[in-house]
Amino acid sequence: MAGNTGHPFETGLDKNRANFAALTPPSFLARAAVSFGASVAVIDDERRITYAELYDRCRRLASALARRGIGRLETVAILAPNIPEMIEAHFAVPMLGAVLNPLNTRLDAATLAFSLRHGEAKVLIVDRDFAPLVAQVLALLDEQPLLVEVPAPAAGPAILEAIGYEDLLHEGDPSYDWPGPDDEWQSLCLLYTSGTTGDPKGAVYSHRGAYLQALGNAVTFGVNRESVYLWTLPMFHCSGWSYPWAMVAAGGTQVCLRKVEPARIFRLIAEHGVTHLCGAPILLSMLVHAPAQDRVPFPQTVRCATGGAAPTSTILRAMESMGFSVTHLYGATETYGPGTASVAVDAWADLTEAERYERMARQGVSLTTVEELAVVDPSALAPIPQDGRTIGEIAMRGNTVMKGYLKNPDATARTLTGGWYLSGDLAVWHPDGAVEIKDRAKDIIISGGENISSLEVEEVLSRHPAVMLAAVVARPDVTWGETPCAFLELKPSGPGATEAEIVAFCREHLARFKVPRTIVFGPLPKTATGKIQKFVLREQAQAIEPAAKA
């Protein structure tokens, strides 16, 4: 500040290379290669990559891209499953000062083409498994990026006009003196949100934000040198919640996984002594409902972090019985993934099982590296009372909130306003500081003037022995305005259920006005990360003829 000019604490105490460095995630890898270079950093089937080898490969990739003309703030996209090359891209591209754009592997060609055009990708690294999809994408582009192909087991023909990934690495210098960012606020990653309407929005991360988010996750999730992390969360989702960087910061081991299959997950947990994994609630459901023949016993307790909808008490109980300790997280693409965690405290030891599960299902308190978490009145942006009853909107601010949306100042201004990131999630704020989501603003059902939380109804439905997944949205009603409409995916080998049985079960556990008036059975639509697509269900519910007057 100008008022400090000439002050002894500001004079002659300048920043220089000895006392200041821009925070950037590649520095984690540089340290790890020096400190424990012979340790295994990455496991991919029979392949083992040490920290020294990982650093060598990342420097080669950064050098090769630089020699091919890729420079500061130019975009390098990657379309690949959870393979070592995805981890390498998360270090090599930032080393160069370029911007990494991990692409959702489950999107259609038109959406991927939009992302590549909007982000102005100069390079597309692609796994050969996605060759047919990439051919469709390229046909929609006027300007073609440099194609780099990663071989895949049992994949089809090679991608035409693509350079092989390993051939590109051979062009690079393992001693490359990588420049990194000019400033830690420099853009590092471009992550597109899976918007429900219109084009996706590209959230932009900074080097500083990614560095701090990695450390915040490491502290919250308790990863260290002995930790073994299994990649059950897609790395394209919020850059894997920053765990490619967090695990390297801790010096642990990452186990790659091309496809999420319960049998393989159980086998890898037992084989490699996995200690940590992350995933959407659908992952927990898959593990809980895996056939007995797919399960492999393991002696260690595996810490499992999950985001999205709060785990139900049924899921939590089943996961604990199998040897998993579940932590519920909350966040968004705009907050580098997790911004809060339901952290257990000593007082929980005195709770009943039901009370403990209720606390575990809350969104919890902020990560160490989040500057401030609050639940605010969205009109005044003032914090609401911490009484566990008043409803407001979850807001956050700090270094781990995105810089904004690429080329979308209007959306940026709506989301980052009044000094807060506004989430759109409605919650209460408890006296102990924990936040608890009651619904998305658009998911609250208003029936006859009464607010109904879809999450509350879903929790009850999930307790029914036949229900595997439940989602509740509003359906038009000529009398009440809206009533709950429940979409249910039943367990494949469960007892089955009728609409009458489901309604009767709900009446035992809910106020009558909260009981769903419509039950729809069948598979639920899901995003690439396993989240239930409520916007699809809302459209389906809207298409149902309004219920007649009672």
Domain architecture of the chain: domains with CATH: 51-207 (3.40.50.12780), 260-441 (3.40.50.12780), 444-543 (3.30.300.30)
Beta bridge partners of 428: 436
Beta bridge partners of 433: none
Widest distance between CA atoms in the chain = 80
Please report the pLDDT score of residue 441 as a whole number: 63
In this structure, the number of other CB atoms found within 10 A of the CB of residue 483 comes to 23
**CB half-sphere exposure, 315, CA atoms < 13 A:** 29
d(C-alpha 397, C-alpha 402), whole Å:
10
d(C-alpha 375, C-alpha 386), whole Å:
9
Give the type of residue at 330: Y
Positions in the chain short of pLDDT 70: 1-5, 194-198, 439-442, 448-451, 528-530, 545-550
Q: H-type helices in 120-206, by residue range?
A: 131-139, 165-171
Backbone angles phi, psi at 85, to 5 degrees: -65, -30
CB 399 within 8 A of CB 23: no
CB 112 within 8 A of CB 137: yes
d(C-alpha 245, C-alpha 210), whole Å:
8
Please report the pLDDT score of residue 198 as a whole number: 62
Q: What is the DSSP string of 96-116?
A: HT-EEEEPPTTS-HHHHHHHH
Please report the pLDDT score of residue 200 as a whole number: 86
Instruction: Quote the pTM value.
Output: 0.84
Pairing of strands 121-127, 75-79: parallel
